Amino acid sequence: MRDKGANPDRFVAALAARQHGVVSAEQLRTSGIDKDGIARRVTAGRLHRVHRGIYAVGYPHLRFEGRCMAAAFACGERAYVSHRSAATLWRILPDVSGPIQITIGTGNGRKPQVGIEIHRSRSLQGHDIAKRAAIPVTAPARTLRDLRRSMAPSLYLRAVRRALDLQLIEESGLRSEGELTRSELERRFICRRNRIPAPTVNAQVGGYEVDFLWVDHALIVETDGFRYHAGRVAFEADRARDAELQALGYRVVRFTFRQVETQPKLVVQRLREMMRS
């Protein structure tokens, strides 16, 4: 058995290093530091209270992963980082400011704390949960289901495409669960089925995020849905964007979702012509 009492601070520092800089009061007590010892270390600036019973060790400012770990600890057992926070942990959406989102079971009586947004669920099962860098988190497929109910369709579809790119989910599972429209699947896999080189998806070019980029061909393909590209303002914005990309030396071609879904041979033919020219 480890002799934590001989040097509890060293033990706590090693523990915090494995937990993104945070420890719980229970872990401190287990290491041999009692309530008064915790208070002395807080006063000395060696511990910094993050949530009730949760402390940052050494430094008060935690990185995103540390904030997630602290929030999960603060909500007790069977508490999992979820929704947009989980999407950030899985790298399928960028970080945003705001509270860490946590999902807990309906029987968990934990009350909200500052910096934590609690969701309650009766349906969390074993396949819905995972760990990411030692942080308890909802699994990618469950995270996407939560996002689908809580954010704009365009942002949700962006998260799905990124999860597919990172191989965190399988397209077959999306089909069976209705997570993704057929047109969205077609726009991603049309190249694979027709032996067209795979593009970079959601690439950054000249300050814009483009749907598909073939760097070797200086070719950009944008796929437009009527819902998000209708109207004069959107039309003019798309054309101004295309003009700037063309000024950077890229050819830009646009297909509608309907074209990709109902005229895939025409889309493939056009892509091949552009790559040969």
Average pLDDT, 10 consecutive residues per value, the chain (277 residues) = 67 96 96 95 96 94 96 92 96 90 79 86 90 96 90 80 81 51 52 78 85 90 57 67 92 79 82 88
Q: How many helices (H) and strands (E) does the chain have?
A: 13, 12
In DSSP terms, which residues pair with 81 in a beta bridge?
102, 137
Instruction: Retrieve residue 105's tokens.
Output: 């079971």
**Amino acid letter at 77?**
E
- Which value, to the nearest 10 degrees, does the dihedral of the CA atoms of residues 210, 150, 126, 104 take? 140
* Helix, strand or coil, per DSSP, at residue 218: coil
* Helix, strand or coil, per DSSP, at residue 86: helix
- Cα–Cα dist 262/38, whole Å: 66
Instruction: Give backbone dihedrals phi and psi of 211, rounded to 5 degrees, phi first.
Output: -65, -50
Alpha-carbon radius of gyration of the chain:
24
- Cα–Cα dist 274/252, whole Å: 10
**Residue-level pLDDT at 199:** 83
Instruction: Retrieve residue 72's tokens.
Output: 């999960």
Beta strands at 208-214 and 200-205: parallel, antiparallel or unpaired:
antiparallel
Nearest to 92, CA basis, from 163, 144, 26, 153: 163
Mutual orientation of helices 264-276 and 182-193 as an angle, nearest 10°? Answer: 40
Model confidence, pTM: 0.65
Give the CATH fold of the 182-276 domain: Endonuclease; Chain A (3.40.960)
Return the domain boundaries, the chain: 4-57, 64-148, 182-276
**Residue-level pLDDT at 41:** 95
* Helix, strand or coil, per DSSP, at residue 252: strand
Q: Which residues lie closer than 8 Å to 265 by C-beta, 6 or more apart?
A: none
Scanning the chain, the segments in alpha helix (DSSP H) are 8-18, 25-30, 35-43, 64-74, 83-89, 140-148, 153-165, 171-177, 182-193, 226-229, 232-247, 257-262, 264-276
- Cα–Cα dist 83/129, whole Å: 12
Q: Decide if 58 contacts 114 (C-beta within 8 A).
A: no
Half-sphere exposure of 54 (CA within 13 A, CB side): 23
**Residue-level pLDDT at 110:** 67
**Residue-level pLDDT at 233:** 54
Instruction: Retrieve residue 168's tokens.
Output: 């965190």
- Cα–Cα dist 37/35, whole Å: 5
* Helix, strand or coil, per DSSP, at residue 93: coil
